Structure 1
Amino acid sequence: MKKPQTVKALEDFGRVRLSKSFFMREFLYSEISQIEGIPNIPDNPDLAIEAGRNLCEKVLEPIQDALGRIAIRSAYRSCAVNAKGAENKNQYNCSSNEASYANHIWDMRDSDGYMGATACIVVNSFIPFYERTQDWTALAWWVHDHIPAYASMVFFPKYAAFNISWHESPDYPKFISSHFPNPHTGKKGYLTKQGMDNFEGDHSDFYKSFLMDLKPK
């Protein structure tokens, strides 16, 4: 598929079904694109579709099947949009393009030739539990234990939104981190990563209260 250059072509691209619940159009919205007037359109639509399908089918759909509807906060960024975000890092909080390949920039492979994709999501059913407890780690550990295809998660304080990634490399160094404190330790940064003592095993004690909240009363 060629890069869309017309409204009709962009409409057709947006109608590409990435999985049973998700279409490409949902992943193209960008506040940076809207405010800065930079089209958020892939240069390589086929690669963006392939990476996005893996993210949706292997990561997002299983979360939604188990926990209910998820909301897409942000996802795909074109190289031009991401570059503007990196240029204004203090305002937009974007990493460099090179660091974002196979991450938010779905249509570029990383330096090792692997593809990947990231979306920032909110799990709507988690919001009441999070607003009551401020314990974002309950959701993090649930995903860690139930969604083996995730590559990384990075949590943010508003609604416990988080970036979640799929990556093609089997050796990707899986991790979970946050930009605000873990309520159990008072520290931000890594919750877990490969090599840490808490990476393996069952973590259900951290999320059993959240799952109880989901049961019909």
Structure 2
Amino acid sequence: MNKPQTVKALEELGRVRLSKSFFMREFLYSEISQIEGIPNIPDDPDLAIEAGRNLCEKVLEPIQDALGRITIRSAYRSCEVNAKGAENKNQYNCASSEANYAAHIWDRRDEKGFMGATACIIVTSFIPYYESTHDWPALAWWIHDNIADYAKMIFFPKYAAFNISWHEDPNYPKSTYGQVANPATGKKGYLTKQGMYNFEGDHSEFYKPFLMDLKPK
């Protein structure tokens, strides 16, 4: 597929079904694109579709099947949109385009030649529990234990929204980071990553209260 140059071609890209629940169109929305007037369209739609399909089928669908509806906050960024976000880092909080290859920039492979994709999502069923406890690690640990193909997570304060990534590299170093304080420690930073003492094993004790809260009363 060539880069869309017409409304009809962009419609066709948006109609591509990435998985049973998700279509390409919902991953293309960008506030930076809207405000700055920069089209958020892949240069390489086929690569973006392939990376996005892996993210949806291997990561997002299993979360949604288990925990209910996922809301997409942001996802794909074109190189031009990301460059504007990185240029105004204090305002838009975007990493450099090179750092976002195979992450938010789905249609660029990383420096090792691997593809990947990132989306910022909200698990809506988690919102009431999070707002009453601020316990974002409960969701992080559940994903860590149950979604084998996630590559990286970064949690944010509002609604416990988080970036979650799929990556093609089988040796990609998994990690989970909080930009909001962990209520157990009072500190921001890594919840876990490969090499940390708490990376392996079962962590169900940390998310049992959330799962109990999720059950119909």
> Residue 188 of structure 1: SS of its match in structure 2?
strand
Moved >6 Å (runs of 4+):
none
Where in structure 2 are the equivalents of 1:154-173 lying within 5 Å? Answer: 154-173=154-173
The answer on 1:207 being equivalent to 2:215 is: no
Where in structure 2 are the equivalents of 1:36-115 lying within 5 Å? Answer: 36-115=36-115
The answer on 1:135 being equivalent to 2:126 is: no
2:30 corresponds in structure 1 to: 30
**Structure 1 Cα separation of the partners of residues 83 and 192 of structure 2:** 29
RMSD of aligned residue pairs (Cα, Å): 0.4
Question: Structure 2 length normalisation: TM-score?
Answer: 1.00
Residues 148-207 of structure 1 show CA distances to partners (whole Å, capped at 9, x for unaligned) of 000000000000000000000001010000112111011111000000000000000110
1:15 corresponds in structure 2 to: 15
Deviation, 1:214, is 1.3
2:174 corresponds in structure 1 to: 174
**Structure 1 Cα separation of the partners of residues 163 and 53 of structure 2:** 16
- Matched to 1:88, the amino acid is N
The answer on 1:148 being equivalent to 2:151 is: no
The answer on 1:195 being equivalent to 2:203 is: no
The answer on 1:184 being equivalent to 2:184 is: yes
**Structure 2 Cα separation of the partners of residues 91 and 116 of structure 1:** 25
Question: Structure 1 length normalisation: TM-score?
Answer: 1.00
Residues 77-115 of structure 1 show CA distances to partners (whole Å, capped at 9, x for unaligned) of 000000000000000000000000000000000000000
- Matched to 2:180, the amino acid is F
Q: How many residues align?
A: 217
Unaligned runs of 5+ in 2: none
> Residue 145 of structure 1: SS of its match in structure 2?
helix
> Residue 180 of structure 1: SS of its match in structure 2?
strand
**Structure 1 Cα separation of the partners of residues 178 and 201 of structure 2:** 21
